[in-house]
């Protein structure tokens, strides 16, 4: 994951978001979609090698963990969310790692990639993040099932954008993938993208409910053809969420799309990524398959909340040699 000549602080620093064109989408190409296959056993073998082949220690591990912090969509999506909880989460987004830890590492100014909330909390989050340039992402379109009437899903997107959300995490209709109704899926995502306007659209595939990796690969491609700025694994509410085989499948779809169109599309694994060691595996996978341009918050995000606490705990261990109690790294 690193070269011996690179400085750890160069890896960790959160660079300004890179300027690249948004994905405008393209006409639906059903021949391309039909040609997409997924060799499940080969994908699983490749994913299984990551833990043994990619390992970083000491200063380099700390640097990559700090990089991971800058890529987190700090998230609260609970039925009992309150304005106070969201405000505390936004304070944590501004200062995700304790100041004494950052000072000891010689860093400052680190923030997360975004704060992700339900529509009802968008205005609260926008106000709490004023002046920080941290975007607010809203989950929308009948999250997490995506089964509300379509016109209401479109209206929800518009209202979240009007409230100040700069990113919209939409959910696709899984039934359209399971029945191979690619035209309907394309039309659905295309209309959702138009409703987003200038806000970036992240399409949640709910991969744990799509049945096969081939369905995951084809759905990924359809969403990108329809103009998705990011493709995302899961809502976090499914039984199976982000996995390395699913991630490899989606990442290679992104690579194929970029090679054919010249357009970079972002990737967001979400759900079940709660340990620092897991974040390192995902970063290794991204670096191997897509390269350095995707190691920035405009092209890669973790959908997580508890992940940040474990990273902060590992950073303190790096500095002190001791593991601290979880309550020293609260989310707010």
Residues composing the chain = 332
Alpha-carbon dihedral sign for residues 214, 226, 236, 265? positive
Q: What is the pLDDT of residue 305?
A: 86
Verdict on whether the full-model pTM lies above 0.85: yes
Fold of 31-329: TIM Barrel (3.20.20)
> What is the mean pLDDT of the segment spanning 126-152?
96
pLDDT of 45 over the 50 cut: yes
Active site residue 232: yes
For residue 53, is pLDDT > 70? Answer: no
Mean local confidence (pLDDT), 32-53: 91
Catalytic residue from among 67, 232, 278, 298: 232
| Whether the predicted pLDDT of 277 surpasses 70 | yes
Give the neighbor-by-neighbor strand order of the sheet with 266-268. Answer: 266-268, 230-232, 200-204, 167-171, 136-139, 114-118, 72-75, 302-304
- The mean per-residue pLDDT over the stretch 242-261 comes to 97
Q: Inform me whether the pLDDT recorded for 16 exceeds 50.
A: no
Please report the pLDDT score of residue 50 as a whole number: 83
User: Please, are residues 269 and 261 in contact by the beta-carbon 8 Å criterion?
Assistant: no
268 noted as active-site residue: yes
Question: Where are the domains positioned within the chain?
Answer: 31-329
- Half-sphere exposure (CA, 13 Å, Cβ side) for 99? 2
Choosing from 92, 202, 264, 268, the catalytic residue is 268
pLDDT at 11 over 60: no
Q: Considering the candidates 73, 92, 169, 229, report the single residue annotated as catalytic.
A: 169
Q: How far apart are CA 238 and CA 301, in angstroms?
A: 19
* Chain position carrying tokens 């969201």: 86
Active site residue 80: no
The phi and psi torsions of 303 (rounded to 5 degrees) equal: -90, 105
The predicted structure's pLDDT at residue 112: 97
Question: Which residue is it, tokens 């060691």?
Answer: 277
ω into residue 144 within 30 of 0, thus cis?
yes
User: 310 pLDDT exceeds 80?
Assistant: yes
Residues 6+ apart with CB under 8 A from 169: 116, 137, 138, 139, 140, 143, 202, 204, 232
Residues 170, 204 contacting (CB under 8 angstroms): yes
């Amino acid at each position: 994951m690193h070269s011996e000549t690179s400085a750890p602080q160069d890896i960790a620093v959160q660079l300004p978001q890179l300027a690249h064109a948004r994905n405008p989408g393209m006409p639906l190409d059903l021949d391309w979609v039909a040609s997409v296959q997924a060799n499940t056993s080969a994908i699983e073998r490749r994913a299984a090698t990551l833990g043994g082949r990619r390992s970083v220690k000491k200063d380099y591990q700390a640097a990559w963990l700090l990089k991971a912090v800058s890529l987190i969509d700090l998230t609260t999506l609970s039925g009992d969310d309150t304005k106070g909880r969201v405000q505390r989460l936004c304070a944590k987004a501004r200062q995700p790692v304790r100041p004494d830890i950052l000072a000891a590492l010689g860093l400052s100014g680190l923030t997360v990639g975004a704060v992700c909330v339900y529509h009802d909390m968008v205005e609260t989050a926008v106000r709490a993040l004023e002046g920080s340039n941290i975007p607010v992402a809203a989950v929308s379109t009948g999250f997490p099932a995506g089964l509300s009437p379509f016109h209401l899903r479109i209206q929800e997107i518009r209202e979240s954008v009007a409230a100040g959300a700069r990113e919209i995490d939409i959910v696709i209709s899984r039934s359209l993938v399971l029945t191979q109704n690619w035209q309907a899926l394309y039309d659905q995502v295309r209309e959702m993208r138009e409703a987003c306007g200038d806000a970036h659209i992240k399409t949640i595939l709910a991969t744990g409910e799509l049945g096969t990796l081939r369905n995951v690969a084809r759905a990924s491609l359809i969403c990108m053809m329809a103009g998705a700025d990011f493709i995302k694994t899961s809502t976090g509410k499914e039984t199976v969420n982000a996995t390395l085989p699913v991630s490899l499948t989606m990442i290679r779809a992104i690579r194929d799309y970029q090679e054919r169109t010249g357009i970079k599309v972002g990737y967001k694994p979400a759900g079940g990524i709660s340990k620092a060691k897991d974040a390192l595996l995902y970063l290794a996978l991204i670096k191997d398959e897509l390269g350095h341009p995707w190691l920035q918050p405009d092209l890669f995000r973790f959908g997580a909340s508890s992940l940040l606490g474990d990273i902060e705990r590992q950073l303190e261990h790096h500095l002190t040699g001791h593991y601290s109690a979880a309550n020293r790294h609260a989310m707010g």
